Amino acid sequence: MTVRPLARVLTSAAILVLTAIAVVAQGTQPYTPPKTPWGEPDLQGIWSGDTLTPLERPARFANKPVLTEAEAEAIEEDVATRPGRDDRSKRGTEKDVAQAYNQHWLAPPTRLADRRTSLIVDPADGKLPAMTPEARARLTAMREYLDALLQGTSGGRPGPISPRRKEPPPFYNVARMNRSDGPEDRQTTERCLGASMPNLGAVYRIVQSPGQVGIYHDSGQGQGFVRTVPVDGSAHLPARIRLPHGDARGRWDGNTLVVDTANFTQKMDFRGARENLHLVERLTRTGANRITYRVTVEDPTTWTRPWTLDVPWERQPDALNQVYESTCHEGNYGLLGMLANTRAAERLFRDGKGPNPELQDNATGGDSDGDIGK
Protein backbone atom coordinates (compact mmCIF):
# COMPACT_ATOMS: atom_id res chain seq x y z
CA MET A 1 0.00 0.00 0.00
CA THR A 2 1.46 3.38 -1.00
CA VAL A 3 1.65 6.33 1.35
CA ARG A 4 -1.17 8.32 -0.27
CA PRO A 5 -3.77 5.46 -0.30
CA LEU A 6 -2.82 4.70 3.30
CA ALA A 7 -3.41 8.35 4.19
CA ARG A 8 -6.85 8.15 2.58
CA VAL A 9 -7.69 5.03 4.61
CA LEU A 10 -6.62 6.74 7.85
CA THR A 11 -8.59 9.86 6.94
CA SER A 12 -11.71 7.76 6.24
CA ALA A 13 -11.32 6.02 9.60
CA ALA A 14 -10.93 9.36 11.38
CA ILE A 15 -14.04 10.72 9.62
CA LEU A 16 -16.06 7.68 10.73
CA VAL A 17 -14.96 8.21 14.33
CA LEU A 18 -15.80 11.93 14.23
CA THR A 19 -19.16 11.20 12.60
CA ALA A 20 -19.96 8.80 15.42
CA ILE A 21 -19.01 11.47 17.98
CA ALA A 22 -21.27 13.99 16.24
CA VAL A 23 -24.19 11.55 16.21
CA VAL A 24 -23.75 10.91 19.93
CA ALA A 25 -23.57 14.67 20.58
CA GLN A 26 -26.81 15.27 18.68
CA GLY A 27 -28.71 12.14 19.67
CA THR A 28 -29.11 8.66 18.22
CA GLN A 29 -31.30 9.63 15.23
CA PRO A 30 -29.60 10.94 12.06
CA TYR A 31 -30.45 14.56 11.41
CA THR A 32 -32.25 15.73 8.29
CA PRO A 33 -31.46 19.42 7.68
CA PRO A 34 -34.14 21.84 6.50
CA LYS A 35 -34.12 22.89 2.85
CA THR A 36 -34.01 26.30 1.23
CA PRO A 37 -36.99 27.25 -1.00
CA TRP A 38 -34.91 26.11 -4.03
CA GLY A 39 -34.18 22.71 -2.46
CA GLU A 40 -30.64 22.91 -1.09
CA PRO A 41 -29.64 22.06 2.53
CA ASP A 42 -30.14 25.17 4.64
CA LEU A 43 -26.93 26.22 6.44
CA GLN A 44 -28.06 29.79 7.07
CA GLY A 45 -27.63 31.53 10.41
CA ILE A 46 -24.96 32.76 12.82
CA TRP A 47 -22.52 30.08 13.95
CA SER A 48 -19.61 30.10 16.41
CA GLY A 49 -16.48 28.00 16.00
CA ASP A 50 -15.02 29.07 19.37
CA THR A 51 -13.32 26.21 21.22
CA LEU A 52 -10.63 25.58 23.83
CA THR A 53 -9.47 22.57 21.83
CA PRO A 54 -6.08 23.42 20.26
CA LEU A 55 -5.20 22.58 16.68
CA GLU A 56 -2.54 20.05 17.79
CA ARG A 57 -2.84 17.58 20.66
CA PRO A 58 -0.71 18.58 23.68
CA ALA A 59 1.93 16.04 24.77
CA ARG A 60 0.17 15.33 28.06
CA PHE A 61 -2.83 13.99 26.11
CA ALA A 62 -0.74 11.96 23.67
CA ASN A 63 -2.87 8.82 23.99
CA LYS A 64 -6.16 10.51 24.84
CA PRO A 65 -8.03 11.97 21.83
CA VAL A 66 -11.26 12.41 23.84
CA LEU A 67 -11.53 13.33 27.54
CA THR A 68 -14.10 12.12 30.03
CA GLU A 69 -16.80 14.57 31.03
CA ALA A 70 -15.14 15.16 34.41
CA GLU A 71 -11.71 15.71 32.83
CA ALA A 72 -13.14 18.20 30.34
CA GLU A 73 -14.96 20.15 33.07
CA ALA A 74 -11.77 20.34 35.15
CA ILE A 75 -9.77 21.72 32.21
CA GLU A 76 -12.44 24.24 31.29
CA GLU A 77 -12.50 25.47 34.88
CA ASP A 78 -8.70 25.70 34.98
CA VAL A 79 -8.50 27.85 31.84
CA ALA A 80 -11.40 30.05 32.96
CA THR A 81 -9.65 30.93 36.24
CA ARG A 82 -6.25 31.87 34.77
CA PRO A 83 -5.41 35.58 34.98
CA GLY A 84 -4.21 35.79 31.37
CA ARG A 85 -3.67 39.41 30.37
CA ASP A 86 -4.97 40.58 33.74
CA ASP A 87 -1.73 39.35 35.32
CA ARG A 88 0.08 42.61 36.17
CA SER A 89 3.07 41.03 37.92
CA LYS A 90 5.35 42.70 35.34
CA ARG A 91 3.78 46.13 35.77
CA GLY A 92 5.59 48.88 33.88
CA THR A 93 7.64 46.58 31.64
CA GLU A 94 7.47 46.55 27.84
CA LYS A 95 5.54 43.28 27.97
CA ASP A 96 3.03 44.79 30.38
CA VAL A 97 2.46 47.76 28.09
CA ALA A 98 2.11 45.38 25.11
CA GLN A 99 -0.90 43.83 26.85
CA ALA A 100 -2.96 46.98 26.47
CA TYR A 101 -6.20 45.08 25.95
CA ASN A 102 -7.11 43.22 29.12
CA GLN A 103 -8.94 39.93 29.45
CA HIS A 104 -12.35 41.60 29.16
CA TRP A 105 -11.69 42.18 25.46
CA LEU A 106 -9.74 38.99 24.75
CA ALA A 107 -11.57 36.38 26.82
CA PRO A 108 -10.71 32.83 25.71
CA PRO A 109 -13.32 30.26 24.66
CA THR A 110 -14.98 28.31 27.46
CA ARG A 111 -15.62 24.80 26.11
CA LEU A 112 -13.77 21.97 24.39
CA ALA A 113 -14.94 20.64 21.03
CA ASP A 114 -16.74 17.38 21.86
CA ARG A 115 -14.25 17.00 24.77
CA ARG A 116 -11.51 16.45 22.18
CA THR A 117 -7.85 17.27 22.79
CA SER A 118 -7.03 18.32 19.21
CA LEU A 119 -8.87 19.72 16.21
CA ILE A 120 -6.63 17.61 13.97
CA VAL A 121 -8.26 14.23 13.32
CA ASP A 122 -5.83 12.99 10.69
CA PRO A 123 -3.03 12.11 11.42
CA ALA A 124 -4.50 10.09 14.28
CA ASP A 125 -1.92 11.42 16.77
CA GLY A 126 -3.49 14.87 16.46
CA LYS A 127 -0.20 16.41 15.30
CA LEU A 128 0.71 18.30 12.14
CA PRO A 129 2.62 16.19 9.61
CA ALA A 130 6.34 16.76 9.26
CA MET A 131 7.35 19.86 7.31
CA THR A 132 9.29 19.54 4.09
CA PRO A 133 12.97 20.59 4.05
CA GLU A 134 11.95 23.54 1.86
CA ALA A 135 9.42 24.75 4.44
CA ARG A 136 11.85 24.32 7.33
CA ALA A 137 14.41 26.42 5.44
CA ARG A 138 11.84 29.18 4.87
CA LEU A 139 10.85 29.26 8.53
CA THR A 140 14.48 29.23 9.68
CA ALA A 141 15.39 32.13 7.38
CA MET A 142 12.49 34.23 8.62
CA ARG A 143 13.07 33.38 12.29
CA GLU A 144 16.75 34.30 12.06
CA TYR A 145 15.86 37.61 10.42
CA LEU A 146 13.23 38.49 13.07
CA ASP A 147 15.63 37.47 15.86
CA ALA A 148 18.32 39.73 14.39
CA LEU A 149 15.97 42.72 14.59
CA LEU A 150 15.39 42.00 18.29
CA GLN A 151 19.11 41.80 19.11
CA GLY A 152 20.05 44.08 22.01
CA THR A 153 16.45 44.57 23.19
CA SER A 154 14.75 43.13 26.27
CA GLY A 155 13.11 40.48 24.10
CA GLY A 156 16.21 39.45 22.15
CA ARG A 157 19.70 38.13 22.58
CA PRO A 158 22.45 40.44 23.91
CA GLY A 159 24.57 42.39 21.47
CA PRO A 160 24.72 45.54 19.39
CA ILE A 161 22.07 46.55 16.87
CA SER A 162 22.22 44.00 14.05
CA PRO A 163 23.33 45.21 10.62
CA ARG A 164 20.37 43.19 9.27
CA ARG A 165 18.05 45.86 10.66
CA LYS A 166 18.25 47.70 7.34
CA GLU A 167 17.66 44.58 5.24
CA PRO A 168 14.26 43.69 3.75
CA PRO A 169 12.76 40.44 5.08
CA PRO A 170 13.56 37.24 3.15
CA PHE A 171 9.82 36.79 2.45
CA TYR A 172 6.78 39.02 2.62
CA ASN A 173 6.35 39.91 6.30
CA VAL A 174 3.21 38.74 8.12
CA ALA A 175 4.67 38.56 11.66
CA ARG A 176 5.49 40.98 14.47
CA MET A 177 8.72 42.58 13.30
CA ASN A 178 10.76 44.79 15.61
CA ARG A 179 10.81 47.67 13.16
CA SER A 180 8.31 50.34 12.15
CA ASP A 181 9.84 52.04 9.13
CA GLY A 182 6.57 51.58 7.22
CA PRO A 183 3.24 49.74 7.35
CA GLU A 184 4.61 46.52 5.86
CA ASP A 185 7.07 46.21 8.74
CA ARG A 186 4.08 45.58 11.01
CA GLN A 187 2.20 42.32 11.52
CA THR A 188 -0.70 41.70 9.14
CA THR A 189 -3.09 41.67 12.12
CA GLU A 190 -2.05 45.25 12.93
CA ARG A 191 -2.79 46.10 9.30
CA CYS A 192 -6.29 44.55 9.40
CA LEU A 193 -5.10 41.72 7.13
CA GLY A 194 -4.43 39.03 9.72
CA ALA A 195 -7.26 36.53 9.23
CA SER A 196 -6.07 33.61 7.10
CA MET A 197 -7.77 30.47 5.82
CA PRO A 198 -8.76 28.14 7.27
CA ASN A 199 -10.17 30.73 9.66
CA LEU A 200 -10.66 29.03 13.03
CA GLY A 201 -12.29 30.21 16.24
CA ALA A 202 -14.43 32.89 14.58
CA VAL A 203 -18.12 33.70 14.29
CA TYR A 204 -19.63 32.98 10.87
CA ARG A 205 -22.79 34.27 9.24
CA ILE A 206 -24.02 32.13 6.36
CA VAL A 207 -26.45 33.46 3.77
CA GLN A 208 -27.58 31.40 0.77
CA SER A 209 -29.13 32.19 -2.59
CA PRO A 210 -29.54 30.07 -5.72
CA GLY A 211 -26.10 29.32 -7.10
CA GLN A 212 -24.00 30.78 -4.29
CA VAL A 213 -23.28 30.74 -0.56
CA GLY A 214 -21.99 33.79 1.31
CA ILE A 215 -19.98 33.34 4.51
CA TYR A 216 -19.01 36.38 6.56
CA HIS A 217 -16.14 35.67 8.98
CA ASP A 218 -16.19 37.84 12.11
CA SER A 219 -12.65 37.12 13.22
CA GLY A 220 -10.42 38.54 15.93
CA GLN A 221 -10.37 42.29 16.44
CA GLY A 222 -11.69 43.72 13.20
CA GLN A 223 -10.21 41.04 10.92
CA GLY A 224 -13.56 40.16 9.32
CA PHE A 225 -13.95 39.25 5.66
CA VAL A 226 -16.61 37.98 3.25
CA ARG A 227 -16.35 34.83 1.15
CA THR A 228 -18.70 34.40 -1.78
CA VAL A 229 -18.72 30.75 -2.82
CA PRO A 230 -20.22 30.02 -6.27
CA VAL A 231 -22.13 26.74 -6.29
CA ASP A 232 -22.80 26.72 -10.01
CA GLY A 233 -20.14 24.41 -11.47
CA SER A 234 -17.83 27.27 -12.47
CA ALA A 235 -14.09 26.69 -12.66
CA HIS A 236 -11.39 28.31 -10.54
CA LEU A 237 -9.95 31.63 -11.61
CA PRO A 238 -6.74 31.49 -13.69
CA ALA A 239 -3.68 30.60 -11.60
CA ARG A 240 -2.19 34.07 -12.16
CA ILE A 241 -5.01 35.64 -10.09
CA ARG A 242 -4.19 35.34 -6.37
CA LEU A 243 -6.45 36.27 -3.43
CA PRO A 244 -5.70 36.64 0.32
CA HIS A 245 -8.43 34.14 1.26
CA GLY A 246 -8.20 32.07 -1.89
CA ASP A 247 -10.59 31.42 -4.76
CA ALA A 248 -13.49 29.25 -3.53
CA ARG A 249 -15.69 26.98 -5.65
CA GLY A 250 -18.49 24.92 -4.10
CA ARG A 251 -20.67 21.92 -4.83
CA TRP A 252 -23.27 19.90 -2.93
CA ASP A 253 -22.47 16.32 -1.93
CA GLY A 254 -25.78 15.20 -0.46
CA ASN A 255 -26.33 17.40 2.60
CA THR A 256 -22.72 18.59 2.64
CA LEU A 257 -21.39 21.78 1.08
CA VAL A 258 -17.94 20.97 -0.31
CA VAL A 259 -15.74 24.02 -0.97
CA ASP A 260 -12.50 23.74 -2.93
CA THR A 261 -10.26 26.75 -2.26
CA ALA A 262 -7.02 27.52 -4.12
CA ASN A 263 -5.16 30.50 -5.67
CA PHE A 264 -3.87 31.90 -2.38
CA THR A 265 -1.35 34.72 -2.29
CA GLN A 266 2.14 34.71 -0.78
CA LYS A 267 1.03 37.68 1.34
CA MET A 268 -0.94 35.39 3.68
CA ASP A 269 0.36 32.58 5.86
CA PHE A 270 -1.26 29.56 7.47
CA ARG A 271 1.29 27.79 9.64
CA GLY A 272 4.00 28.22 7.01
CA ALA A 273 1.84 27.61 3.91
CA ARG A 274 1.29 30.47 1.51
CA GLU A 275 0.54 30.58 -2.22
CA ASN A 276 0.57 26.77 -2.65
CA LEU A 277 -2.07 26.15 0.02
CA HIS A 278 -5.09 24.09 -1.08
CA LEU A 279 -8.17 23.51 1.08
CA VAL A 280 -11.15 21.18 0.76
CA GLU A 281 -13.80 22.31 3.28
CA ARG A 282 -16.91 20.28 4.13
CA LEU A 283 -19.84 21.93 5.94
CA THR A 284 -22.52 19.50 7.11
CA ARG A 285 -25.49 20.50 9.25
CA THR A 286 -25.65 17.65 11.76
CA GLY A 287 -28.22 19.17 14.09
CA ALA A 288 -30.60 22.10 14.47
CA ASN A 289 -27.85 24.00 16.30
CA ARG A 290 -24.70 22.45 14.85
CA ILE A 291 -22.59 22.42 11.70
CA THR A 292 -19.62 20.08 11.45
CA TYR A 293 -16.83 21.96 9.69
CA ARG A 294 -14.14 19.61 8.37
CA VAL A 295 -11.13 20.80 6.37
CA THR A 296 -8.43 18.87 4.54
CA VAL A 297 -5.28 20.99 4.20
CA GLU A 298 -2.65 20.34 1.55
CA ASP A 299 0.56 22.07 0.47
CA PRO A 300 3.30 19.77 -0.86
CA THR A 301 5.84 22.58 -0.45
CA THR A 302 5.08 22.83 3.29
CA TRP A 303 3.96 19.41 4.64
CA THR A 304 4.91 15.86 3.70
CA ARG A 305 1.24 14.81 3.48
CA PRO A 306 -2.28 16.31 3.63
CA TRP A 307 -3.98 16.60 7.01
CA THR A 308 -7.53 17.10 8.27
CA LEU A 309 -9.11 19.09 11.09
CA ASP A 310 -12.66 19.03 12.43
CA VAL A 311 -14.48 21.83 14.31
CA PRO A 312 -18.10 21.90 15.55
CA TRP A 313 -19.88 25.17 14.83
CA GLU A 314 -22.65 26.01 17.31
CA ARG A 315 -25.64 28.10 16.27
CA GLN A 316 -26.11 31.46 17.98
CA PRO A 317 -29.57 32.96 18.62
CA ASP A 318 -30.50 35.29 15.76
CA ALA A 319 -32.55 37.55 18.03
CA LEU A 320 -29.59 38.24 20.33
CA ASN A 321 -26.78 38.52 17.80
CA GLN A 322 -25.85 40.47 14.72
CA VAL A 323 -22.72 40.21 12.60
CA TYR A 324 -21.70 43.55 11.12
CA GLU A 325 -19.24 44.45 8.39
CA SER A 326 -15.73 44.85 9.74
CA THR A 327 -14.47 48.44 9.91
CA CYS A 328 -10.90 47.70 10.96
CA HIS A 329 -9.29 49.62 8.10
CA GLU A 330 -11.46 52.69 8.58
CA GLY A 331 -10.71 52.84 12.30
CA ASN A 332 -7.12 51.62 12.28
CA TYR A 333 -5.62 54.57 14.10
CA GLY A 334 -3.41 52.14 16.01
CA LEU A 335 -1.19 51.56 12.98
CA LEU A 336 -0.87 55.30 12.38
CA GLY A 337 0.00 55.71 16.05
CA MET A 338 2.73 53.04 15.92
CA LEU A 339 4.44 54.70 12.96
CA ALA A 340 4.03 58.25 14.29
CA ASN A 341 5.25 57.24 17.74
CA THR A 342 8.37 55.66 16.25
CA ARG A 343 9.14 58.80 14.22
CA ALA A 344 8.73 60.90 17.38
CA ALA A 345 11.00 58.55 19.36
CA GLU A 346 13.65 58.78 16.63
CA ARG A 347 13.56 62.60 16.74
CA LEU A 348 13.90 62.62 20.53
CA PHE A 349 16.84 60.20 20.36
CA ARG A 350 18.61 62.37 17.77
CA ASP A 351 18.14 65.35 20.10
CA GLY A 352 19.56 63.38 23.06
CA LYS A 353 16.22 63.38 24.89
CA GLY A 354 15.22 59.73 24.83
CA PRO A 355 16.35 56.11 24.40
CA ASN A 356 17.27 54.61 21.06
CA PRO A 357 13.99 53.14 19.67
CA GLU A 358 16.00 50.51 17.81
CA LEU A 359 16.86 49.01 21.21
CA GLN A 360 13.23 48.79 22.30
CA ASP A 361 11.19 45.61 21.94
CA ASN A 362 8.08 46.21 19.84
CA ALA A 363 7.62 42.62 18.69
CA THR A 364 7.28 40.23 21.64
CA GLY A 365 4.86 40.29 24.55
CA GLY A 366 1.13 40.72 24.64
CA ASP A 367 0.32 37.06 23.98
CA SER A 368 -0.42 35.61 27.41
CA ASP A 369 -3.79 33.93 26.83
CA GLY A 370 -3.72 30.27 27.86
CA ASP A 371 -4.99 27.07 26.32
CA ILE A 372 -5.27 23.46 27.45
CA GLY A 373 -1.68 22.76 26.45
CA LYS A 374 -0.24 25.14 29.07
Model confidence at 238: pLDDT above 90: yes
Do 302 and 349 have their domain in common? no
Q: State the DSSP H helix or E strand holding residue 16, giving kind and residue range, or none if neither.
A: helix 3-26
Q: Are residues 103 and 207 in the same domain?
A: yes
Residues 222 and 345 in one domain: no
Residues 6+ away with beta carbon under 8 Å from 117: 53, 54, 57, 58, 61, 64, 65, 66, 67, 126, 372
Mean pLDDT for the chain?
A: 87
Are the beta carbons of 365 and 98 closer than 8 angstroms? yes
116 lies in the same domain as 228: yes
Query: Per-residue pLDDT tens for 255-273?
Result: 999 999 999 999 999 999 9
Residue 213 CA to residue 221 CA, distance in Å, equals 24
Could you read off the pLDDT of 326-337 as tens digits, one per residue?
Answer: 778 777 888 899
292 within a domain of the structure (yes/no) = yes
Cβ burial 184-195 (10 Å sphere, 16+ → b, else e)? ebbebbbbbbbb
Q: Report which residue type is found at 54.
A: P
For residue 287, what is the domain's CATH number? 2.40.128.20
Q: Is 322 exposed, middle or buried (CB count within 10 Å of its CB: 0-12, 13-18, 19+)?
A: exposed
| Residue 151 resides in a domain | no
| Residues 265 and 345 placed together within one structural domain of the fold | no
At 212, the pLDDT band (50, 70, 90 cuts) reads very high
Each residue of 158-182: pLDDT tens digit? Answer: 999 999 999 999 999 999 999 999 9
In a domain? residue 187: no
CA 7 to chain centroid: 24
∠ Cα 161 164 167 (to 5°)? 135
- Out of 298, 320, 342, a domain closes at 320
Work out whether strand 247-253 and strand 212-218 pair parallel, antiparallel, or are unpaired.
unpaired
Domain span at residue 268 reads: 3-84+93-129+197-320
Question: 243 and 340 share a domain?
Answer: no
* Residue type (1 letter), 14: A
Q: How far apart, in whole angstroms, are the C-alpha atoms of residue 259 and residue 250?
A: 4
Model pTM score: 0.84
Q: Number of structural domains, the chain?
A: 2
Same domain, 259 and 300: yes
CB 135 within 8 A of CB 303: yes
Tell me if 368 is assigned to some domain. Answer: no
Q: In terms of domains, do 262 and 204 share one?
A: yes
On whether both 15 and 72 belong to a single domain, the answer is yes
Assess whether 201 and 283 both reside in one domain.
Answer: yes
**Beta carbons within 8 Å of 283's beta carbon, 6+ residues apart:** 43, 256, 257, 259, 291, 292, 293
Closest CA to 98 of 88, 83, 107: 88
CA gap 194, 180 in Å, rounded? 17
Does residue 155 surpass a pLDDT of 80?
A: yes
Does any domain span residue 257?
Answer: yes
Residues 6+ apart with CB under 8 A from 220: 189, 194, 195, 202
Residue 341 scores a pLDDT above 90: yes
Q: How far is CA 99 from CA 111, 359, 368, in A?
A: 24, 19, 8
Asked if residue 8 is part of any domain, the answer here is yes
List pLDDT tens digits, range 117-135: 999 999 999 999 999 999 9
Q: Is residue 231 part of a domain?
A: yes
Residue 353 shares a structural domain with residue 316: no
**Strand 256-262, strand 247-253: pairing:** antiparallel
Is 240 found in the same domain as 104?
yes
CA angle (46 as vertex; 42, 52 as ends), nearest 5: 115
Whether residue 188 lies inside any domain: the answer is: no
Compute and round to an integer the Cα radius of gyration of the chain: 22
Question: Which residue, 320, 339, 368, sits at the end of a domain?
Answer: 320
